[in-house]
């Protein structure tokens, strides 16, 4: 391996930092690429890590598409599903996490009837149709 390749590899590792860790996953940010990777692991819940990663990818895809038309609200675009890790990579965006935002915001003032049904019912998310 060349000196340049070693330097590039070391720089890549330096730009990755832990930004979250919970019972089911570890979340790392690669600052040089602007990419967040959420890696799932076995935990006490019912869901297998691979299934959790697939669910996360599907939810992110659904939310990102639905929220494109909602001014002032964004959701990270999913970039890749890695079933071997298992994990999900997504674009890093600044701001409050969507789950936290939904949990503390009166949704009736910001969600149109067309948007709510598109993202409601996702496992682990509040039912937005009754907001």
What is the C-alpha separation between 36 and 114, in angstroms, rounded?
A: 29
Domain membership of residue 98 (yes or no) is yes
User: What pLDDT, on the 0 to 100 scale, is given for residue 111?
Assistant: 55
The residue among 52 and 127 whose pLDDT is bigger is: 52
Pick from 105, 131, 108: which is nearest to 120 by CA? 131
State which of 18-32, 41-55, 99-113, 116-130 shows the largest mean pLDDT.
18-32
Does position 54 have pLDDT exceeding 90, yes or no? yes
pLDDT digits (tens, 9 = 90+) for 61-95: 988 888 887 777 778 899 999 999 899 999 998 87
Q: Which domain holds residue 19?
A: 12-130
Q: How many domains does the chain have?
A: 1
Structure token pair of residue 47? 């869901």
Q: What is the pTM of this model?
A: 0.67
> What CATH number corresponds to the domain at position 106?
3.30.200.20
Domain membership of residue 3 (yes or no) is no
Q: Name the pLDDT band for 6 (thresholds 50, 70, 90).
A: very low
Cis peptide before 86 (omega within 30 of 0): yes
Cis peptide before 28 (omega within 30 of 0): no
Q: Say if CB 101 and CB 73 are below 8 A apart.
A: yes
């Amino acid at each position: 391996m060349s000196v340049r390749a070693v330097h590039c590899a070391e720089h890549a590792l330096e730009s990755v930092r832990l930004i979250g860790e919970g019972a089911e996953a570890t979340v790392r940010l690669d600052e040089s690429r602007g990419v967040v990777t959420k890696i799932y692991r076995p935990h006490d819940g019912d869901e297998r890590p691979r299934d959790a990663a697939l669910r996360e990818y599907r939810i992110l895809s659904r939310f990102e598409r639905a929220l494109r038309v909602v001014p002032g609200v964004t959701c990270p675009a999913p970039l890749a599903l890695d079933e071997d890790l298992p994990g999900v990579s997504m674009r890093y965006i600044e701001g409050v996490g969507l789950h936290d935002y939904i949990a503390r915001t009166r949704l009736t003032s910001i969600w149109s009837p067309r948007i709510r049904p598109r993202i409601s019912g996702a496992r682990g998310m509040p039912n937005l149709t009754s907001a």
